[in-house]
Structure 1
Amino acid sequence: MAEPTQDTATEEDTAGPYGFCSWHHRFAAGVRLIDVIEQGSGPGGVHYACPPCIKTHRLVPFADR
C-alpha cells in the first residue's frame, strides 16, 4: 500500500472561502458562517468570521452547533 507523500491538512490550514469577516471588518480567507439573523420586521442578515477571529472570540460556526 502506498503511503501519502503530503501531510494531511487540517481545517485551519485550508484557505477555504474568501469573504468579509464581521468581527474585524475586513475581507479574509477561510471565513465560516457564524450566525444567521432571520428576517422579521428588519432586513435580516448573516455574520461570517475568519479563523483568527473564531479562535480569538471563541465563536462556534453555525454548522458545528
Structure 2
Amino acid sequence: MAETTGTATPEAGSAANGWCHWHQGTSGTAVLITVIEQGSGPGAALYACAPCREQRRLVPYGKPS
C-alpha cells in the first residue's frame, strides 16, 4: 500500500470546492492556477473560474503557456 503525506495537491482541472480566488466567490468551473510554496508552514493553492481565467489570461497549473 502506498504511503501518503496527508497533504494532496489537486490536479489541474479539478475544482477547489467551487471557489475562485480572483473574484472571491463560488464557482463550478474553478481550476488550479498556482501553488504558493513556503519554507515553513503550509503553502497555498489559488484557483480561478473560467470567466476570471479568460479576463486575466490565466493558465491552469501544469499547462504550457
Shorter-normalised TM-score: what interval? 0.5 to 0.7
Deviates more, 1:22-31 or 1:39-48: 39-48
What 5-or-longer segments of structure 2 have no aligned partner? 1-13
The two structures, once aligned, show a CA RMSD in angstroms of 1.8
* TM superposition score normalised by structure 1: 0.66
Normalised by the size of structure 2, how large is the TM-score? 0.66
Moved over 2 A (4+): none
Structure 1 segments unaligned to the other structure (5+ residues):
1-15
Report the equivalent of 1:29: 28
Partner of 1:4: none
1:2-17 → structure 2 map (5 Å cutoff): 17=15
Question: Larger C-alpha radius of gyration, 1 or 2?
Answer: 1
Higher strand share: 1
